[in-house]
Amino acid sequence: MMLEDELTVSTRERDGVAIIDLSGDVTTFAEEKINNAYREVTSKGARNVLLNFRQNDYINSAGIAILIGIVTEVTRNDQKLAVSGLSQHFQKIFRMVGLAQYAEIYQDEQEALAAFKAQA
């Protein structure tokens, strides 16, 4: 029996920011979906990328490894990365593993978009 959880990943653009919406569990099963979404927005010329988490009850170290991979690509491509929508617990986890050094953490999408705009 496979217990793979559904992660829904979608992309959109708002105020010049490429938003990748992530709804569901971020685990090893998420790798292809997240990487494909990042490649898609990058191929369209995204300079600012927002990972917008929604209802994420489970982000494990394998999922964090995928996000570190995105950080690596963002650094290589000279893009800006931010994250929003994380629960207080996962904000703590992101700070603990050092992801916050590479991606600003915002409470929600609005706050992140305002910050991108202020930096422009």
Partner 1 sequence: MSASACSHASLELSLPSELGYEVIARDAIAAFARRLSIPDERIEDLKTVLCEVCVNAMEHGNSLNPGLRVQIFCRFEDERLVVEVLDQGVRQYTSGARPLSIGEKVAGRGSLRGMGLLLISQLCDEAGFVPWPGPGNRFRFAFHRQPGHDLHG
Contacts 24+ apart (CB under 8 A), 65-73: 66/26, 66/28, 66/30, 66/31, 66/34, 66/35, 67/26, 67/34, 67/99, 68/99, 69/35, 70/34, 70/35, 70/38, 71/99, 71/102, 71/103, 73/38, 73/42
In the stretch 42-71, what mask flags binding to partner 1 with x, by CB under 8 A?
----------------x-xxx-xxx-xx-x
* Interface with partner 1, residue 105, by CB under 8 A: no
Nearer to partner 1, 29 or 106 (CB): 29
What is the rounded CA–CA span in Å between residue 64 and residue 44? 25
**Binding of partner 1 at residue 15 (CB under 8 A)?**
no
91 in contact with partner 1 (CB under 8 A): no
Based on the shown chain and the rule CB under 8 A, indicate whether residue 39 belongs to the binding site for partner 1.
Answer: no
Interaction of residue 77 with partner 1, rule CB under 8 A: no
User: By the criterion CB under 8 A, which residues form the site for partner 1?
Assistant: 1-5, 25, 27-29, 58, 60-62, 64-66, 68-69, 71-72, 75, 87-89, 93, 96-99, 101-102
